[in-house]
């Protein structure tokens, strides 16, 4: 069951004892002194030990802060990244009680065998190996008991602590700490929602079904419910261990990792936000197995489009296009210092191209953009932080597996494949069909909608409107809507044809089709223009 933290209904009185405990720990580790200025900041190690002492919720909060390189210096980020995700294992009796309560049957009836020693014990849950009655090996993920009460109390205390600090130190308002806490609470809600994780697994399995050399364990639905998630067992070894024994197989494994990351982002709007070595296994037959979908991100279509434009601008070194695409990904930003942001982005792109594109890190590039945006008033969306973290982790794993591997070459190859797929005949037919249906619906609905709106205006309290004037106005609006519809349709042909001519390394029928679409669009525009001129002259 997901932990539901409602920040609007937090109980201040109930959170007060925990808040006092937190303040004592912060004072003992001299964290509160940091509010007096950077010269009073404690050592990074002291900060990490503070989060570890404060327990589960703050371990996760420290891991979230480790993604915010725009807020903290690198030394603190590096130390927070060392926060371990391991906790003492729960007693088997607590595990048994949770499984039997959630699945409604004795453990011996549910599984033929159930390992008492956990395979892993993390902050949210621990995993046990088991065997189904039909002989299948499975991994049973069991959530820690009393998680909701513990996290809710800590979030309430953290929220009140932030409010108190902002009252005492008004300059903290610029850091948007309440927004950070809300985003953290939302991420905990997602990570503790096993039903959401099960849905994510299904989506990833569907999206990556055609990727060779990859296997994602399926959900065993009849043994999953609430705080228990049962999956097919991945019988293999960690990819970093496998790399030491089979170095010749690693280049292909890296290509598969890059493909699954980019394909799910740009085709499905999904991405695995924690692709480290502990979540990637190699099966006995050589296939990769991707595990643990508790931390995933989602990008809607407008954000994916902006991300594509951003990557293209970075590759071309176009700072203005990069700034515009970046701001499109952060629509809630106000009072952005655009000129200063543009100068910082120019500096970032200059450094990237001076070093050479083969040494570019996507994660580091995104990280520099986030820092620049935060300095100049951009409210970065949480999805962008999560995506940046995912790329940083993926690139770190790739360097660990094969320090000599050309990561950008794999990236360019996959982008080219996705581009070719994006401009395939089937995709063009599908998008054209959708466009035609939308234009048809607009053309059919517009005159009737216009008449209804004008009738309501004429019958309302907006003043006297003569019927002939209303009808004439309705006629003009209807004609203009029809012309607009035609212009959009012909303009779409021109844009679509131009897009077909843009991708590199493409020839043959895409070019022929693109030229035909452009010519058709131009001819249609000319015909529509002459028709409009003749029609207006005839009415005069």
Coil, strand or helix at 280 = strand
- Are 284 and 332 in a shared domain? yes
- Are 446 and 456 in a shared domain? yes
**282 with 237: CB under 8 angstroms?**
yes
Give domain status of residue 28, yes or no. Answer: yes
> Where are the alpha helices (H) located in 124-218, listed in sequence order?
147-168, 177-191, 194-207
Give domain status of residue 356, yes or no. Answer: yes
What's the total number of domains in the chain? 4
Closest CA to 388 of 410, 367, 414, 360: 367
Among 421, 453, 471, give the residue marking a domain's end.
Answer: 421
Among 360, 388, 421, give the residue marking a domain's end.
Answer: 421
Give domain status of residue 1, yes or no. Answer: no
Give domain status of residue 2, yes or no. Answer: no
Among 386, 406, 421, give the residue marking a domain's end.
Answer: 421
- Are 329 and 210 in a shared domain? no
Instruction: Pull the structure tokens for residue 133.
Output: 């009655």
What is the structure's pLDDT at 354? 78
Q: How many helices (H) and strands (E) does the chain have?
A: 20, 11
- Are 293 and 332 in a shared domain? yes
- Are 155 and 282 in a shared domain? no
- Are 328 and 396 in a shared domain? yes
For the chain, residues with pLDDT lower than 70 are 1-14, 35-36, 69-70, 84-87, 174-175, 332-334, 355-359, 416-515, 521, 525, 528-540
Coil, strand or helix at 219 = strand
Coil, strand or helix at 41 = coil
- Are 182 and 289 in a shared domain? no
What is the structure's pLDDT at 455? 64
* CA–CA separation, 128 and 120 (whole Å): 8
- Are 157 and 64 in a shared domain? yes
Residue 375: how many CA atoms within 13 Å on its side-chain side? Answer: 16
What is the structure's pLDDT at 114? 96
* CA–CA separation, 500 and 509 (whole Å): 10
Give domain status of residue 285, yes or no. Answer: yes
Give domain status of residue 260, yes or no. Answer: yes
What is the structure's pLDDT at 342? 92
Give domain status of residue 22, yes or no. Answer: yes
What is the structure's pLDDT at 441? 62
What is the structure's pLDDT at 535? 62
* CA–CA separation, 503 and 492 (whole Å): 17
424-445 core/surface letters (b: 16 or more CB in 10 A; e: else)? eeeebeeeeeeeeeeeeebeee
Query: Which parts of 31-173 are beta strand (E)?
Result: 113-114, 120-121, 125-131, 137-143
Q: Phi and psi of 334, rounded to 5°?
A: -130, 155
* CA–CA separation, 320 and 114 (whole Å): 58
> Going by C-beta distance under 8 Å and a sequence separation of 6 or more, which residues neighbour residue 227?
1, 98, 102, 125, 142, 143, 194
Closest CA to 423 of 499, 535, 338: 499
What is the structure's pLDDT at 161? 84
What is the structure's pLDDT at 470? 47
- Are 395 and 484 in a shared domain? no
- Are 203 and 327 in a shared domain? no
Give domain status of residue 369, yes or no. Answer: yes
Domain that holds residue 225: 91-144+193-233
Residue 109: how many CA atoms within 13 Å on its side-chain side? Answer: 8
**CA angle, residues 208, 211, 216, in degrees to nearest 5:** 55
* CA–CA separation, 275 and 204 (whole Å): 14
- Are 135 and 205 in a shared domain? yes
* CA–CA separation, 300 and 271 (whole Å): 12
What is the structure's pLDDT at 112? 96
> Where are the alpha helices (H) located in 301-459, listed in sequence order?
301-316, 319-328, 338-355, 362-375, 382-401, 407-422, 425-459
What is the structure's pLDDT at 466? 45
- Are 55 and 176 in a shared domain? yes
Q: At what angle do helices 177-191 and 147-168 cross, to 10 degrees?
A: 170
């Amino acid at each position: 069951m997901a932990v539901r933290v409602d920040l609007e209904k937090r109980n201040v009185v109930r959170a007060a004892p925990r808040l006092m405990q937190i303040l004592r720990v912060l004072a003992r580790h001299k964290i509160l002194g940091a509010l007096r200025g950077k010269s009073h900041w404690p050592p990074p190690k002291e900060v990490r030990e503070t989060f570890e002492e404060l327990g589960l919720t703050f371990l996760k909060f420290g891991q979230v802060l480790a993604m915010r390189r725009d807020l903290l210096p690198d030394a603190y980020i590096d130390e927070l990244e060392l926060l371990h995700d391991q906790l003492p294992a729960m007693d088997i009796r607590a595990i048994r009680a949770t499984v039997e309560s959630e699945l409604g049957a004795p453990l011996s009836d549910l599984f033929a065998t159930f390992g008492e020693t956990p395979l892993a014990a993390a902050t949210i849950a621990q995993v046990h190996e088991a065997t189904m009655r039909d002989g299948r090996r499975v991994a049973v993920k069991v959530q820690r008991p009393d998680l909701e009460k513990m996290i809710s109390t800590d979030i309430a205390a953290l929220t009140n602590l932030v409010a108190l600090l902002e009252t005492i130190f008004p300059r903290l308002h610029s850091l948007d700490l309440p927004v950070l806490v809300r985003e953290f609470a939302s991420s905990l809600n997602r990570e503790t929602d096993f039903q959401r994780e099960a849905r994510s697994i299904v989506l990833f399995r569907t999206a990556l079904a055609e990727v060779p050399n990859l296997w994602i364990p399926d959900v065993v639905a009849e043994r999953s419910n609430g705080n228990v998630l049962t999956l097919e067992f991945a019988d293999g070894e960690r990819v970093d261990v496998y790399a030491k024994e089979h170095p010749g197989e690693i280049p292909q494994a890296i290509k598969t990792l890059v493909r699954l990351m980019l394909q799910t982002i740009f085709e499905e709007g999904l991405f695995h936000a924690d692709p480290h070595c502990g979540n990637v296994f190699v099966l006995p037959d050589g296939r990769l197995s991707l595990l643990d979908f508790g931390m995933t991100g989602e990008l809607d279509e407008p954000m994916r489009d902006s991300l594509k434009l951003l990557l293209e601008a970075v590759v071309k070194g176009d700072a203005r296009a990069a700034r515009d695409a970046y701001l499109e990904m952060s629509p809630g930003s106000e009072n952005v210092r655009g000129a200063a942001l543009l100068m910082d982005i120019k500096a970032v792109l200059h450094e990237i191209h001076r070093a050479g594109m083969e040494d570019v890190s996507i994660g580091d590039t995104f990280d520099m953009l986030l820092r620049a945006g935060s300095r100049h008033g951009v409210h970065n969306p949480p999805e962008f932080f999560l995506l940046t973290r995912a790329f940083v982790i993926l690139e770190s794993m790739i360097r660990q597996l094969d320090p000599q591997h050309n990561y950008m070459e794999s990236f360019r190859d996959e982008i080219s494949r996705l581009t070719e797929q994006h401009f395939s005949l089937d995709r063009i037919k599908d998008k054209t069909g959708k466009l035609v249906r939308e234009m048809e619906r607009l053309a059919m609905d517009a005159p009737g909608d216009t008449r209804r709106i004008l009738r309501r205006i004429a019958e309302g309290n907006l003043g006297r409107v003569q019927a002939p004037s209303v009808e004439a106005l309705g006629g003009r609006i209807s004609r203009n809507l029809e012309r607009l519809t035609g212009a959009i349709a012909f303009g779409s042909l021109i844009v679509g044809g131009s897009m077909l001519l843009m991708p590199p390394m493409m020839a043959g029928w895409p070019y022929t089709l693109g030229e035909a679409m452009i010519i058709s669009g131009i001819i249609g525009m000319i015909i529509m223009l002459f028709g409009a001129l003749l029609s207006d002259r005839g009415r005069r």
